[in-house]
Structure 1
Amino acid sequence: MEPVAVGLVGAGPWARMAHGPMLARGPHTRLAGVWARRPEQAAQLGAPVFTRVEELFDHCEAVAFCVPPAVQAEYAVLAARAGKALLLEKPLADSLDGARRLADAVAEAGVASQIVLTLRYAPQTRAFLARCAEIEPFGGHAANVSGALLGDHPFATPWRLERGALLDVGPHVIDLLGAALGPVTGVRAHGDPLGWTGLLLDHEGGAVSEASLCMATAGDPPPPMFAVYGRTGSAVLPHFDDDPLETVAEEFARTVRAGGGHPLDAAHGLRLQEIIADAEHQLTR
């Protein structure tokens, strides 16, 4: 398969640590260029740097995004309208309206899209989900607790400090519980997005789950936890440190070459954002 030429929007720490190297090392993709608001950071990725995002679009067939949600929502719409396939970060946008505009632009342009919900690409997660499908699941719980909003943590970025764990790690947790127990049909939320947030999720088919989210705890919290219980057994996602980004790149390349069809697409991202927006509204009303 001919490597997909992917342009990268963004050159912050995560772009330099993850997205840039992932796209550059191939063999399924090649980094065709970078556009960022700070060209000096873009130059560190070792690919052509473009001063206008439209110039980047002219030199690639797909665009990956590693920028804050509001920026992604703006520029991904432009890329979709330019006919480019999209590799998107979660959440789609900083607002439900922005997520709708982006999902609508993808659908109207008919371009392929895929979201980097990293947990879903790991073999351990896929084995966990296969086990969940065997046990007639009816309930589960998850916890994602860290100190990422404290001190000089690299993820203590302005949008995370403003919106907290629900918008950042919420997509990962809601997505995986939905994959394990059935699509989420309702949410009840309590707590504080900048402190501790609790979610009670209703799933299609009658299953229920609970999730605890926090990015403001000191010390050494345990790794993320997912457990599902069913009528014929249980399933627990083991902790792992594997890097699934090679699988992300491979699946994105195949999605682009096939013209779309990945389950973790922009439409899926919109459904996650609808649940998060509902939960945020409950927490702030």
Structure 2
Amino acid sequence: MTSNASAPVRVGLIGAGPWARAMHAPMLAAGPQTHLTAVWARRSEAAAALAGAHGAVAVADVEELFERCEAVAFAVPPAVQAPLAVRAARAGKALLLDKPLGADLAGARAVAQAVAESGVVSQMVLTKRYHPATRAFLARARQTKVTGARSCYLHGAFLDGEMATGWRLKEGALLDLGPHLLDLLDAAVGPIVSVRATGDPRRWVELSCRHENGAVSQASLSGAVRLPRPRTRIELLGESEEVVWDSAGAGHQESWPLLREEFAAAVRSGVPGPLTAAHGLRLQELIAMATP
């Protein structure tokens, strides 16, 4: 790893699909804290196109990608991410990980264990957590005694379009959207100690969460409902005035600067933030608890 603490972190990207094109590649290439150096994907033509669009190099395999970077970002299905993240951690690379951490609890545990044993920095891309509005909401939540909470994450991306494929259609909203909402409820209300689920994750699933402080929260998840725009909302209720967070008008791009800055700072200092692979494992444990 470079000794120049102010130098951009050299990041290799694994994946060249819709999320890599829309988020990872432009965010990492924009800098100044990071520099996108290389892209690898199972479809070499997609990797070449994405790398060329952002001044990076398309590489033939992950070992070559590891040689060209000091951190690895993942934009691939969870069943692909988990084993490659283990390899990257063992190669001494910092990890920028997508959610869910693995396709199942065993995969998630393998990643978290590899990170712990290798001592590398890890950070989860829970995009909403890096938005200024979310940070303001969580700051207010910390000053609020919550009795109960209602929340939802709803959209129609599983009905058609680029996201209506593969693991998302098979596993549904619990594994795809659940990490986001459980993470926010855990942070806003208090640590979740139990989760119960009813419904079909491929259509609509309801979660009932019990928190360490005695509060109860509800979460509605669906990727198969037609809406004008995605709807993510949390309402915190108690003896004082309600505290509400709503994603309306909050674009992903507004989260990129803080996400990039915090990841680069963690890599350069060697001190990870709170959203590590261990946190990703905790979210996966909650999802496993809720799996119908």
Could you say which residue in structure 1 is the equivalent of 2:32? 27
Question: Which moved further from structure 2: 157-166 or 231-240?
Answer: 231-240
Could you say which residue in structure 2 is the equivalent of 1:9? 14
Could you say which residue in structure 1 is the equivalent of 2:3? none
What is the rounded CA distance, in whole Å, between the counterparts of 1:55 and 1:260 in structure 2? 26
Could you say which residue in structure 2 is the equivalent of 1:69? 78
Could you say which residue in structure 1 is the equivalent of 2:189? 181
Could you say which residue in structure 2 is the equivalent of 1:228? 236
Matched, 1:37 2:45: no
What is the rounded CA distance, in whole Å, between the counterparts of 2:82 and 2:165 in structure 1? 17
- Structure 2 counterpart of 1:58, one-letter code: E
Matched, 1:209 2:217: yes
- How do residues 106-255 of structure 1 correspond to structure 2 at under 5 angstroms? 106-151=115-160, 153-220=161-228, 223-238=231-246, 239-242=248-251, 243=253, 244-255=255-266
Listed as ranges, the gaps of 5+ residues in structure 2 are 1-5
User: Deviation at 1:157?
Assistant: 2.2
User: Deviation at 1:237?
Assistant: 0.7
Listed as ranges, the gaps of 5+ residues in structure 1 are none
Could you say which residue in structure 2 is the equivalent of 1:278? 289
What is the rounded CA distance, in whole Å, between the counterparts of 1:223 and 1:183 in structure 2? 24
Q: Does the Cα contact within 8 Å between 1:2 and 1:28 map onto a contact in 2?
A: yes
User: Cα RMSD (Å) of the superposition?
Assistant: 1.1
TM norm structure 2: 0.93
Instruction: Find the residue that maps to 1:103 and give its secondary structure.
Output: helix
Q: Does the Cα contact within 8 Å between 1:63 and 1:85 map onto a contact in 2?
A: yes
Q: Does the Cα contact within 8 Å between 2:156 and 2:230 map onto a contact in 1?
A: no
Could you say which residue in structure 1 is the equivalent of 2:94? 85
Q: Does the Cα contact within 8 Å between 1:187 and 1:200 map onto a contact in 2?
A: yes
Instruction: Find the residue that maps to 1:187 and give its secondary structure.
Output: strand
- Structure 2 counterpart of 1:267, one-letter code: A
What is the rounded CA distance, in whole Å, between the counterparts of 1:222 and 1:13 in structure 2? 17
What is the rounded CA distance, in whole Å, between the counterparts of 2:146 and 2:75 in structure 1? 35
What is the rounded CA distance, in whole Å, between the counterparts of 1:161 and 1:222 in structure 2? 17
- Structure 2 counterpart of 1:123, one-letter code: P
The aligned length equals: 280
What is the rounded CA distance, in whole Å, between the counterparts of 2:182 and 2:120 in structure 1? 25
Residues 221-268 of structure 1 show CA distances to partners (whole Å, capped at 9, x for unaligned) of 662111111332211013233321121111100010111321010000
- Structure 2 counterpart of 1:41, one-letter code: A
Matched, 1:101 2:110: yes
Residues 115-169 of structure 1 show CA distances to partners (whole Å, capped at 9, x for unaligned) of 0001100010011111111121221111111111112x22112000000000000
What is the rounded CA distance, in whole Å, between the counterparts of 1:222 and 1:84 in structure 2? 34
What is the rounded CA distance, in whole Å, between the counterparts of 2:79 and 2:276 in structure 1? 18
- Structure 2 counterpart of 1:168, one-letter code: D
Summarize the Cα distance change of 1:189–1:195 in structure 2 as closer, same or farther, 3 Å threshold.
Answer: same
What is the rounded CA distance, in whole Å, between the counterparts of 1:246 and 1:276 in structure 2? 29
What is the rounded CA distance, in whole Å, between the counterparts of 1:240 and 1:264 in structure 2? 24
